[in-house]
Amino acid sequence: MDKTQETADEKSCMIKEKNNELSIRDSNCLQPITRSNSREKITNLDVIPQVIASCIIHCVVIQVGVNMAYSTVLLNDLKLDNAGMTITENEESWIASLVTITLPIGSIIAGPLMDKFGRKVVCSFSCVPAIISWILFIFAKSVITIYAARFIAGIAAGLSTVGVIYVSELSHPQIRPMLLCLNSVFVSLGILITCCLAISLDWHKMAIVFLALECCIFFALFFLPESPYWLACFGNGMLDEKRTREMKRSLKRLNRTETIYEQEYSRIMEIARNRVALRHNETSDTVVASIKNYYHKFKSPSAYKPITILFVLFLLQQLSGCYVVIFYAMSVFDEMSGILRKSFNENSAFVMLGIVRFVVSILTSFSSRKYGRRVICILSGIGMSVSMFLSGIYMHFTVSSDKNGNEQEIMVDYKWLLLVFVLSYICFSTFGFTTIPWTQIGELIPVSIRGIGGGFMVSVAYIMMFAVIKSYPYILKSIGIGNIFFLFSFTSLLSIIYVYFFVPETLNKSFSDIEKMFTSNKEEKPCDVHPT
């Protein structure tokens, strides 16, 4: 009994000594954080290094956008037998959706990998499977090889999840919303590049271009600093002098102004002190003990509440058709033009889709600094619901059948309206519902489980995406494109109601403020102190 007490006392002393050591180191050069100095205004010049670093990091998600749009080009060429291969309807749905099956695998393993080896290392590593997938596409001569390439491409896209976490940890609170929204800008850039290349290149030649692009991104990532929060809180668990120097160098590169640098350094050291105490309280470093520790963290209201909110938000995002229109863009436009007797060119519509998504995603990034997440999502949902409802109405009232069962168009002079409605839907969905849920993973989920929790949430989102994309061809065959538009409209309406009642606002809130929103006064306060 005495030995146990002595061991406990020794452990307690060690924790106090470590905390005092870190406190003394901080107090020599820094003032304590106050509400006023943590919200000090920063200039555009101050954040240039963070913007440049974020843009390079977000380049890894160009692959995600390419995966979405490339399936459209690939399927269109294969249907025309341009590659010497013929595919069935079942093979078509597998080629389109296979990438979303393996995406969760990449997302799940990204969590522990980024906590163990660092945000920068995993970001760079995500390029390796992407490079392999493009090499397979270049030499593909069979459907099996295409399956393998799409399978590996999905893993690469899943690993790119680390980018959102990386950016959230290196960006200042005042520009974090904008920098996180750049994720959608670069996904849209991937779609736009694919749309433009599709005009003059076949899927084989496009694969060569994307292979070169991926190699350039891989080398560019080497010049980035590691996340200062990871250096302080993860890795080998010891914030020694060498690690502290590395963390300071990283902070200096990202924050050139001395005042802002000191504020960020103070916040990081505060988290580091807390994690030292937390690690000493954990029973063991075994796998079973780690699982138990994560289980208890996930049981906290600050963890399970945001994860539940995000789960429903992603479910509504997928059911509202945001990604179906991208993955099957050519098929959707082909279906529309077939019904309307080739009243517009689907290739031109495909390029317009890419341009609209890219421009609107940039608009969203700038809007996110001024307007809240809820406002943007509600406006997005209203626009999506109205656009899809009008598309369904157009299909219902302008296409009829004669006595012999032949389809005929009634409103010949207004056939351009349907394309306007569909592009409006893409515009509004990009403005909010295809952007905000992904950025909120880096905001709502607490730092202590952000690696594992973020990877889990992204995995769940892509499993939903797979289910919707895989089933789309069969639903289209059963109910027709007009009724699908009505279905998307109804789900978008439900999304508006859900956001209004359940999704919290995170604009201008620190990570600790966001976490407190999910913890009532009667419940325990979160164990980690989070960066702002």
Q: What is the pLDDT of residue 24?
A: 40
Q: What is the pLDDT of residue 289?
A: 65
Q: What is the pLDDT of residue 274?
A: 65
Q: What is the pLDDT of residue 403?
A: 54
Which residues, 6+ apart, have CB-to-CB distance to 499 below 8 Å?
313, 374, 377, 378, 381
* Bridge partners of residue 409, in order along the sequence: 399
Q: Report which residue type is found at 268.
A: I
Average pLDDT on 394-402 reads 69
The packing angle between helices 416-431 and 346-367, to 10°, is 30
Q: What is the pLDDT of residue 345?
A: 61
What single-letter DSSP state applies at residue 95?
A: H
Average pLDDT, the chain: 78
User: Pick the residue with more confidence: 466 or 527?
Assistant: 466
Q: Kindly indicate the confidence band of residue 529, based on its pLDDT and cuts at 50, 70 and 90.
A: very low
Same fold, 46-224 and 300-517: yes
The mean-pLDDT minimum among 364-368, 487-491, 493-497 falls in 364-368
Q: What is the pLDDT of residue 494?
A: 95
Average pLDDT on 134-140 reads 93
Q: Residue 86 to residues 78, 167, 407, 471, 493: CA-CA distances in angstroms?
A: 6, 43, 28, 21, 40
Q: What is the pLDDT of residue 31?
A: 38
pLDDT score of 22 more than 70: no
Q: Kindly indicate the confidence band of residue 3, based on its pLDDT and cuts at 50, 70 and 90.
A: very low
Average pLDDT on 121-137 reads 94
Q: Kindly indicate the confidence band of residue 25, based on its pLDDT and cuts at 50, 70 and 90.
A: very low
> Contact 439/451 with Cβ under 8 angstroms?
no
Instruction: Compute the C-alpha angle 252/261/46, nearest 5°.
Output: 80
Q: What is the pLDDT of residue 350?
A: 72
Average pLDDT on 389-407 reads 71
Say how far apart CA 232 and CA 15 lie, in whole Å. 16
Q: Kindly indicate the confidence band of residue 333, based on its pLDDT and cuts at 50, 70 and 90.
A: low
Q: What is the pLDDT of residue 115?
A: 82
Say how far apart CA 465 and CA 104 lie, in whole Å. 10
* Of the ranges 139-148, 167-176, 398-407, the best mean pLDDT one: 139-148
Pairing of strands 407-409, 399-401: antiparallel
Which residues, 6+ apart, have CB-to-CB distance to 146 below 8 Å?
74, 95, 137, 140
Say how far apart CA 439 and CA 433 lie, in whole Å. 11
Q: What is the pTM of this model?
A: 0.71
Kindly state which CATH superfamily the domain 300-517 is placed in. MFS general substrate transporter like domains (1.20.1250.20)
Name the residue with tokens 């012999």: 404
pLDDT score of 11 more than 50: no
pLDDT score of 499 more than 90: yes
DSSP-derived secondary structure for 385-438: HHHHHHHHHHHHHHEEE-TTS-EEES-GGGTHHHHHHHHHHHHHHHHTTTTHHH
Kindly state which CATH superfamily the domain 46-224 is placed in. MFS general substrate transporter like domains (1.20.1250.20)
Average pLDDT on 103-130 reads 89
Q: Give pLDDT tens digits for 244-296.
A: 888 888 888 888 778 888 887 887 777 677 666 555 555 455 666 667 776 77
Q: Report which residue type is found at 484.
A: I
What single-letter DSSP state applies at residue 409?
A: E
Q: Give pLDDT tens digits for 505-515.
A: 887 777 777 77
Say how far apart CA 48 and CA 46 lie, in whole Å. 6
Q: Kindly indicate the confidence band of residue 313, based on its pLDDT and cuts at 50, 70 and 90.
A: very high
Q: Kindly indicate the confidence band of residue 312, based on its pLDDT and cuts at 50, 70 and 90.
A: very high
Q: Where along the chain do its domains lie?
A: 46-224, 300-517
Q: Give pLDDT tens digits for 205-242.
A: 999 999 999 999 999 999 999 888 888 877 555 667 77
Residues of the chain above pLDDT 90, percent: 22
Say how far apart CA 353 and CA 323 lie, in whole Å. 12
